[in-house]
C-alpha cells in the first residue's frame, strides 16, 4: 500500500480472539467473565438521560477517578488516569514515554499487543524468554530499556512473578515500568502500592475481566501525579465517554459484586485445572481467569483447538513460538467447563 506510512509495512496489527455471532457457542477464548456485571451498572446506564449524551463528557472523568483513588488507596484523582480500555492506556504509555528508536522490554511469551504498539511507534520490543516453567530469568533484570511492560499475572501463562521479584526489578530498572495487572483480581496478591513507592511505576487495571465489562472499554492507570500529567498531554481530549464514566463509577462502587464473581471463577478454575491434569495436560497453577493447558503427542494442541471449535467450543490457540503445544482456556461457568472437559474426554478417548 503506497499511501500508508513506511513504518506500517512490516506491521500486521493485533489479532483479537474471535467473537462468534452464533449465540450457541461456548466461548472460552477471550477471557471474558461468565457472570454479569453489577445490577447498579445497568441502573447507571438507564439513569443517564439525554443531557448526558448531548453534552461532551468530563474530559478527565473526575468522579470515576476519585472513586478509583479511594478504592485503590491513593490520595486523590491526580494519581489516576482513566481510559477507553487498558489497551488505550498501554498505547498512551508508549506514546508518552518512548521515543521512536528506543527499546521497550517485555517477557516472552506475553501479551502480543505490546509488540504491535512498539512497531507502530517505530520502537523496538526487546523480549527476554521466560524459563521452562514460565518464570523470569536473570536477563530480564539486566536488560536496559526506556519502558518495560511487566505483566503480572502474565498472559497467556497465568503465572505471577513473586512480589519480591517485582520489587527487585522496580528498584533496579531505570526507565518507566508498566505493571499490567489486567488479571490481578483473580490472583493472590497485587502490586497496587508500588506506584506510590516508585516514581517510575505505573500500575494498570482493566474493568474487562473481573468487573465483567469488556463490552464497555474501561481501564485505569495509577501513577505518581508527575507521570499522570505527562499522560494527560497525549490522550484524546474525551478519551472516556459519558456511558463508560457512569458505568465505571457504578462498578467500582459495587466492589463486593465483582469479588463474589471472582470467587466463583477461582473455584471453577481449581476444578478445571484438576480435570485437565487428569486428562494428561500439563497445567501450571493460574493466577488469572484462564488456564494454559499444554500437551505432547497426538492430537496436537492445534488439532484439539480445531476439533473443539467444530463442536462450538471456542478456546484460544496462539501461533507463537513456545506456545505451539498449548491451548488457553478461559474459565467459564461450571457448566461451560464441564462441557469442555466432556468434549476433551471424547476427543482424547479418555474414560470419564
Ligand X SMILES: Cc1ncc(COP(=O)(O)O)c(C=O)c1O
Q: For binding to ligand X (CB under 6 A), which residues are involved?
A: 31, 85-87, 111, 151, 155, 180, 182, 206, 208, 214, 219
User: Please, which residue, 155 or 276, has the CB nearer to ligand X?
Assistant: 155
Q: How far is the CB of 298 from ligand X (least distance, A)?
A: 30
CB of 213 to ligand X, least distance (A): 9
In whole angstroms, what is the distance from residue 339 CA to residue 342 CA?
A: 5
Cβ 258 to ligand X shortest distance, Å: 14
CB of 50 to ligand X, least distance (A): 28
- Of 261, 240, 331, nearest in space to 37 by CA: 261
Phi, psi of 32 (to 5 degrees): -80, 160
Q: 3-state SS of the chain: helix, strand, coil percent to 5?
A: 40, 15, 45
For residue 74, give Cα distances in angstroms to 71, 79, 99, 207: 8, 7, 29, 18
Cα–chain center distance at 340: 23
Q: Nearer to ligand X by C-beta: 33 or 208?
A: 208
Dihedral of alpha carbons 246, 248, 252, 255, sign? positive
Which CB sits closer to ligand X, 186 or 198? 186
The nearer residue to ligand X, 204 or 343, going by C-beta atoms, is: 204
Residue 100 and residue 85: Cα distance in Å, rounded? 24
Question: At its nearest, how many Å lie between ligand X and the CB of residue 210?
Answer: 11
> Closest CB to ligand X among 87 and 115?
87
| Shortest separation between residue 107's beta carbon and ligand X, angstroms | 11
- C-alpha to C-alpha distances, 261 to 43, 186, 223, 313, nearest whole angstrom: 19, 10, 27, 22
Q: Among positive and negative, which fits the CA dihedral 147, 149, 150, 152?
A: positive
Nearer to ligand X, 328 or 339 (CB): 328
Amino acid at each position: 500500500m503506497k499511501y500508508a506510512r513506511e513504518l506500517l509495512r512490516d506491521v500486521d496489527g493485533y489479532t483479537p480472539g474471535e467473537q462468534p455471532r452464533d449465540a450457541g457457542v461456548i466461548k472460552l477464548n477471550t477471557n471474558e467473565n461468565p457472570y454479569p456485571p453489577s445490577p447498579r451498572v445497568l441502573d447507571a446506564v438507564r439513569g443517564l438521560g439525554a443531557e448526558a449524551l448531548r453534552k461532551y463528557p468530563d474530559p478527565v472523568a473526575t468522579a470515576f477517578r476519585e472513586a478509583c483513588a479511594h478504592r485503590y488507596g491513593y490520595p486523590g484523582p491526580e494519581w489516576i488516569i482513566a481510559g477507553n480500555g487498558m489497551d488505550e492506556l498501554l498505547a498512551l504509555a508508549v506514546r508518552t514515554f518512548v521515543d521512536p528508536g528506543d527499546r521497550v522490554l517485555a517477557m516472552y511469551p506475553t501479551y502480543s499487543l505490546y509488540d504491535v504498539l512498539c512497531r507502530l511507534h517505530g520502537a523496538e520490543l526487546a523480549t527476554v524468554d521466560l524459563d521452562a516453567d514460565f518464570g523470569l530469568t536473570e536477563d530480564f533484570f539486566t536488560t536496559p530499556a526506556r519502558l518495560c511492560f511487566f505483566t503480572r499475572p502474565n498472559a497467556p501463562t497465568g503465572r505471577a512473578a513473586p512480589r519480591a521479584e517485582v520489587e527487585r526489578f522496580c528498584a533496579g530498572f531505570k526507565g518507566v515500568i508498566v505493571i499490567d495487572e489486567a488479571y490481578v483480581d483473580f490472583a493472590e496478591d497485587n502490586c497496587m502500592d508500588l506506584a506510590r513507592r516508585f516514581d517510575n511505576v505505573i500500575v494498570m487495571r482493566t474493568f474487562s475481566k473481573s468487573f465483567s465489562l469488556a463490552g464497555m472499554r474501561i481501564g485505569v492507570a495509577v501513577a505518581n501525579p508527575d507521570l499522570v500529567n505527562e499522560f494527560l498531554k497525549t490522550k484524546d481530549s474525551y478519551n472516556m465517554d459519558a456511558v463508560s464514566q457512569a458505568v465505571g463509577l457504578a462498578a467500582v462502587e459495587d466492589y463486593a459484586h465483582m469479588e463474589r464473581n471472582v470467587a466463583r471463577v477461582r473455584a471453577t478454575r481449581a476444578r478445571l485445572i484438576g480435570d485437565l491434569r487428569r486428562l494428561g495436560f500439563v497445567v501450571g497453577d493460574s493466577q488469572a481467569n484462564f488456564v494454559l493447558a499444554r500437551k505432547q503427542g497426538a492430537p496436537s494442541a492445534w488439532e484439539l483447538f480445531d476439533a473443539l471449535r467444530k463442536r462450538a467450543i471456542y478456546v484460544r490457540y496462539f501461533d507463537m513460538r513456545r506456545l505451539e503445544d498449548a491451548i488457553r482456556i478461559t474459565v467459564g461457568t461450571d457448566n461451560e467447563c464441564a462441557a469442555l472437559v466432556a468434549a476433551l474426554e471424547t476427543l482424547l478417548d479418555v474414560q470419564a
